[in-house]
Amino acid sequence: MSERVFMKGGEAVAEALIRAGCRFYAGYPITPQNEIPEYLSRRLPEVGGVFIQGESEIASVNMVYGAACTGTRSVTSSSSPGISLKTEGISYMAMAKIPALVVSVQRGGPGCGSIQPSQQDYWQATKALGNGGNKHIVFAPATIQETVDLMETAFQKAERDRNPVVMLIDGCICSLMEPVTLPEMVEPKLAGPDWRLEGHADQRPGRRIIPFGTEDFVEEFNRELLKMEQAWDERDTMVEELYMDDAEIVVTAYGTCARIVLSAIQQLRGVGHKIGMIRPIVVNPFPKAAYNKLDPTTVKLLIDIELAIPCQMVDDVMLALPPGIPVNTFGRTGGNIPTDGEVRDAILELIEEGEAQ
């Protein structure tokens, strides 16, 4: 049976990784995600897995690259500047078609920034997680429970595409304590029976994973990546739409910020404001259809709210919207987490500004 326990977010994430079949982890300490490797350092050996604290982020991601080549479900995690250091290894895994899971716990930036929660890595995760233009499916859960529930799905999509997948969370999710129902343990199986490196002892032809090639090879490889990304739009978007039936104002947010926004919207609807909400659960591929179907004759304003200044997801929102719907934003960052009251007041102010124009 599934267990319901009271856990800190980072530890719940780590336990979910194990229950989803992770048997190799390499990482390097950085706040606010340290509970993930700390928990895995104790727990992975109990299930026959391997934990390594590398000498650096660069070393750790390349250890994951090597372990994932064997078909083992392999994971690395870090926060903001640490993910920046891992991007070269992630792009190498993309070129070699190696599935792995990257847990990105956002904190303030740029540079080392602050150690507090933020949502300033949206562009990094969805647009440029490595050189060469490679992209990844990026999950952006809003609660500890949702993060736990999506972990097995994330591994499955990585293995289906032979491409790294990103779990994009933030320091709030890692640091909160909430009741969470843990999933059943998945029996770990090696991925890629037709490509994994496992030794063959002359029983079959040898295998070689090629991370580079001629100009023609690279161009053709990128054409194949494009086909994969186009297929994501058809099958891998995930979005939650709330109170949209009568919405004249639409607010959009993701992750931890969406929890605060939902509380503010519920307060405003309680006093008669017709406000709906769109929450992407997967931010790449972006759920363009949820925005494109909005009717400009009904929706007077769309407000994007993020723990980022400037807001970042809003770029994708504006590309997805039909013409005629004005857009405005509200953001806090650097570890400044707005209350639902602050968000409520910001929404009202933006509505008033829109009506005045």
CATH number for the domain including 245? Answer: 3.40.50.920
Within 10 angstroms of residue 199's Cβ, the number of other Cβ atoms is 8
Same domain? For 204 and 254 the reply is no
Signed CA dihedral, 343, 349, 352, 357: sign only: negative
* Extended strands (E) in the chain: 3-8, 24-27, 50-53, 74-78, 101-106, 138-139, 165-170, 177-182, 239-242, 249-252, 275-280, 282-284, 301-306, 327-331
Distances (CA, A) of 15 to 9, 34, 190, 315, 334: 10, 14, 19, 34, 28
pLDDT at 208: 80
Domain boundary among 173, 207, 235: 235
Same domain? For 188 and 262 the reply is no
- Between CA 229 and CA 212 the distance in angstroms is 20
Model confidence pTM above 0.85? yes
CB-count exposure of residue 223 (10 Å: 0-12, 13-18, 19+):
exposed
List b or e across 9-31, with b for residues whose CB sees 16 or more CB atoms inside 10 angstroms: bbbbbbbbbbbbbbbbbbbbebb
Same domain? For 213 and 253 the reply is no
Domain boundary among 186, 220, 235: 235
- Between CA 232 and CA 106 the distance in angstroms is 24
Is the Cβ–Cβ distance between 283 and 317 less than 8 Å?
no
Same domain? For 230 and 245 the reply is no
List b or e across 82-109, with b for residues whose CB sees 16 or more CB atoms inside 10 angstroms: bbbbbbebbbbbbbbbbbbbbbbbbbbb
Same domain? For 123 and 15 the reply is yes
- Whether cis (ω within 30° of 0) applies to the bond prior to 285 is yes
Within 10 angstroms of residue 146's Cβ, the number of other Cβ atoms is 17
Domain that holds residue 268: 241-356
Same domain? For 194 and 294 the reply is no
Same domain? For 249 and 197 the reply is no
pLDDT in tens, the chain (357 residues): 567 899 999 999 999 999 999 999 999 999 999 999 999 999 999 999 999 999 999 999 999 999 999 999 999 999 999 999 999 999 999 999 999 999 999 999 999 999 999 999 999 999 989 999 889 999 999 999 999 999 999 999 999 999 999 999 999 999 999 999 999 999 999 999 999 998 877 778 878 887 667 778 889 999 999 999 999 999 999 999 999 999 999 999 999 999 999 999 999 999 999 999 999 999 999 999 999 999 999 999 999 999 999 999 999 999 999 999 999 999 999 999 999 999 999 999 999 887 766
Same domain? For 85 and 227 the reply is yes
pLDDT at 202: 74
Phi, psi of 28 (to 5 degrees): -140, 140
| Residue 197's CATH number | 3.40.50.970
Total structural domains within the chain: 2
- Between CA 261 and CA 85 the distance in angstroms is 32
Domain boundary among 193, 216, 235: 235
